[in-house]
Structure 1
Amino acid sequence: MRNITITCLLIYVINILPVAAFEIEFEETFGDNNSVSTIQILSSTDSERFRPVINGFIKRNPELSVHYVTASTTEIYTAIANENTTFDLVISSAMDLQMKLANDGFTKKVTLTGNGNVPNWARWRSEVFGFAQEPIVLLVSKQDFFDLKLPKTRRDLLALMRNNPDIFINRIGTYDPKISGAGYLFSTQDSRQSDTFWRLAEVMGRLNTKLYCCTSKMIKAVDSGELALAYNVLGSYANAELPLDSNAQVIALEDYTQILLRTAVVPLASKRPDLGTRFLDYLISAEGQDILDKLAKLPSLNNFEISKLANRKPIRLDSGLLVFLDKLKRSAFLREWDAALFQN
């Protein structure tokens, strides 16, 4: 009998993870309790978003079950690099942290049956594989922008915030790069794209911007009217979670829209790397990509809407991602960030 079992977090931590366990957000087991084998997946993608993909995989592989654990991108890195956990597949939106895991020898080289389904720009060696794209967008409150012209560029946004402090004071949200690996990636890539980023950060600081761990909380805050805008939000989450009559509106800025890759790696410590590879093969298959697009609402590698975005700037999956993970570079960046955001 197929069912979904939400496993007790305490039992999982005691029996599977080291004593100094990383912080788990949620976990769920999909498939038959009497399955032959269970694939252990650690991911930063919400289980509700990934559910259609997992169900599609189990339909094709009924003898298997999937134990799906979600955590922040930073906690995921910690689990693999520092705690030697034994997951079979690791999925993350923090491309740089995935690259670091591979570069530092924590991932396996794998051979995929559908290797040709992954273009060269979406893979690094035979260790890091992109399977979905993600536009990084601006989210605005319609009620607050009723009498304002919607910004098309970051310069427009900068001018709006400077000229309307009464609307935006205490009502701007963005990622906290200190606790969010994805947020740190977006901010550092922003700083490489344009000098406007630091001017934007300084104005956000003067307006007492609120910092968040994750996109879902920013989406809810804009939709409720608590925030007037949220900067650097995962576009697919916003498009999937917001109802048609939502107060929130998604804007892909035209000066550039960063496009990240959701990536997957098979950890070196995996007890069943064959199963991790099998699931990854399904992710990049025609069926898996179709489910990602249509049911999970996570843009596939060949998503048409992404290809139409004006001035899209894909974040390259290469060793350049490691630059800002250098300890000195990271410390310097976060000091500059603090100086901009927390002004006395």
Structure 2
Amino acid sequence: MRRIATALAVMVLMTCPAAAFETEEEEVFAARGAEARSVSVLSTTDTDVLRPAIEAFQTAHPDTALRYVVASSQEVFAALDRDGAAFDLVISSAMDLQMKLANDGFAADYTSPQTGRLPQWARWRDQIFAFAQESVVLIASRRGLQGLPVPQTRRDLTELLRDHPEVFRGRIGTYDPRASGAGYLFATQEARQSDSFWRLAEVAGGLSPRLYSSSLDMIRDLKAGRLALAYNVLGSYAGPRLESDADGVVVEFADFTLTLLRTGFIPANAVNPEGGGAFLDFLLSAAGQALIRDRAGLPPIDEAALSARPHLRPIRLDAGLLVYLDQLKREAFLEEWSSAMSQK
């Protein structure tokens, strides 16, 4: 009877309606054992990307069911900040929004042998933990370039767009930072690094760029021939999808390439924080890191890789991420960005 009651409780939890925030995907990975414990994960990472990790985790924990909910980074933030939704682990590519949630008290403290092995730059106050480091790249279509050279720096790209507007008008894609938390993070961090961001934005803005809220949508439209270039795309998504495509090319800019940390934390209101910690530990383990590299295409945390490639510039996981989340600074930045993007 106890097993039946436990199973029924898990079924109720797993099938309860979503909170007010908008979701993109939801999948329940049923427990494989007789007992049924549940872990609920809210994430910006597509289900199919982490599916191999989830399945391997359940092989090691056969009596654990896992509910995996996918939402945009802004909706993930709203789920906790506005709606008080209860999840056991929150994963996001928007480092600034993760930092704000933790800074505002939404993240619980957590320590384990796996988190203790992370380098200092890949964790924050025993609350936020990075499990992947991902380049933010340019993708290009060789056909779309019409024989023009593939740009290797932001200066190259700016000059290419300025000198050949007829090739690129309406055929440049980039994130809309008003709609995408990750897009806002990339734009603000790049603007902090170099004035070349605004020069490029003004030139691209005069060519009727297409704005997106997803790297996958930009990759799809480039492969379909609707885009010649897409700027600030997640390399972990672009690489596996373009490596067998003779037309597509992925560029890490030689002047500097932003490197995102994909992070997770256990919410302070988690129903099963031990389960959330167990899944986080699996992602951070040697087996989990190898699996997300080989099966998910997510580059694992690797200090040596950063040292060997000095053009990679990791976004710092610290309170500096909160600067552009100030409402007045956000409004001013988006106003300047919108002005640049609406050049005619």
Give the TM-score band, short-chain normalised.
over 0.9
What are the Cα deviations for residues 87-112 of structure 1, in whole angstroms up to 9, with x where unaligned? 00000000000000000001101122
Deviation at 1:204, TM superposition (A): 1.0
In structure 1, distance between residues paired with 2:154 and 2:134: 19
In structure 2, distance between residues paired with 1:288 and 1:113: 14
In structure 1, distance between residues paired with 2:112 and 2:85: 23
Q: Secondary structure at the match of 1:91?
A: strand
In structure 2, distance between residues paired with 1:284 and 1:118: 8
Q: Are 1:293 and 1:303, in contact at CA under 8 Å, matched by a contact in 2?
A: no
Pick which of 31-40 and 207-216 moved more.
31-40
Q: Are 1:117 and 1:285, in contact at CA under 8 Å, matched by a contact in 2?
A: no
Q: Are 1:222 and 1:247, in contact at CA under 8 Å, matched by a contact in 2?
A: no
In structure 1, distance between residues paired with 2:162 and 2:176: 22
Question: Which residue identity lines up with residue 96 of structure 2 in the other structure?
Answer: D
Question: Which residue identity lines up with residue 261 of structure 2 in the other structure?
Answer: L
CA RMSD of aligned residues (A): 1.8
Question: Which residue identity lines up with residue 78 of structure 1 in the other structure?
Answer: A
Q: Are 1:73 and 1:182, in contact at CA under 8 Å, matched by a contact in 2?
A: yes
Matching residue of 1:79: 79
Describe how 1:45-194 pairs up with structure 2 within 5 A: 45-194=45-194
TM-score, L = length of structure 2: 0.93
Deviation at 1:35, TM superposition (A): 4.6
| Structure 1: gaps (5+ residues) | 1-10
Matching residue of 2:276: 276
Q: Are 2:14 and 2:67, in contact at CA under 8 Å, matched by a contact in 1?
A: no
In structure 2, distance between residues paired with 1:111 and 1:12: 27
In structure 2, distance between residues paired with 1:229 and 1:88: 38
Q: Are 1:133 and 1:260, in contact at CA under 8 Å, matched by a contact in 2?
A: yes
What are the Cα deviations for residues 145-199 of structure 1, in whole angstroms up to 9, with x where unaligned? 2511111110000000000101100000000000100000000001001101001
Q: Secondary structure at the match of 1:144?
A: helix
Describe how 1:190-209 pairs up with structure 2 within 5 A: 190-209=190-209
Q: Secondary structure at the match of 2:29?
A: strand
Q: Are 2:144 and 2:227, in contact at CA under 8 Å, matched by a contact in 1?
A: no
Q: Secondary structure at the match of 2:83?
A: coil
Matching residue of 1:223: 223
Q: Are 2:138 and 2:252, in contact at CA under 8 Å, matched by a contact in 1?
A: yes
In structure 1, distance between residues paired with 2:143 and 2:230: 14
In structure 1, distance between residues paired with 2:305 and 2:268: 35
Q: Are 2:38 and 2:272, in contact at CA under 8 Å, matched by a contact in 1?
A: no
**Cα 1:294/1:26, change in 2 over 3 Å:** same
Question: Which residue identity lines up with residue 66 of structure 1 in the other structure?
Answer: L
TM-score, L = length of structure 1: 0.93
Describe how 1:255-294 pairs up with structure 2 within 5 A: 255-294=255-294
What are the Cα deviations for residues 241-263 of structure 1, in whole angstroms up to 9, with x where unaligned? 23513422101010000001000
Deviation at 1:304, TM superposition (A): 6.4
Matching residue of 2:9: none
Matching residue of 2:30: 31
Identical residues among aligned pairs (%): 48
**Cα 1:146/1:309, change in 2 over 3 Å:** farther
Matching residue of 1:15: 16
Q: Secondary structure at the match of 1:240?
A: helix
Q: Secondary structure at the match of 1:143?
A: helix
In structure 2, distance between residues paired with 1:240 and 1:35: 37
Structure 2 residue 316 is matched with structure 1 residue 316: yes
What are the Cα deviations for residues 20-58 of structure 1, in whole angstroms up to 9, with x where unaligned? x11100011113376521110000001111011111111
Matching residue of 1:297: 297
Question: Which residue identity lines up with residue 206 of structure 1 in the other structure?
Answer: G
Pick which of 302-311 and 39-48 moved more.
302-311
In structure 1, distance between residues paired with 2:176 and 2:337: 10
Deviation at 1:144, TM superposition (A): 2.2
Matching residue of 2:247: 247
How many residue pairs get aligned? The number is 332
Q: Secondary structure at the match of 2:316?
A: coil
In structure 1, distance between residues paired with 2:235 and 2:150: 17
In structure 1, distance between residues paired with 2:154 and 2:55: 40
Q: Are 2:90 and 2:264, in contact at CA under 8 Å, matched by a contact in 1?
A: yes
Matching residue of 1:7: none
In structure 2, distance between residues paired with 1:338 and 1:255: 25
In structure 2, distance between residues paired with 1:208 and 1:114: 47
| Structure 2: gaps (5+ residues) | 1-11
In structure 2, distance between residues paired with 1:226 and 1:305: 34
**Cα 1:144/1:309, change in 2 over 3 Å:** farther
Q: Are 2:31 and 2:58, in contact at CA under 8 Å, matched by a contact in 1?
A: no
Question: Which residue identity lines up with residue 131 of structure 1 in the other structure?
Answer: F
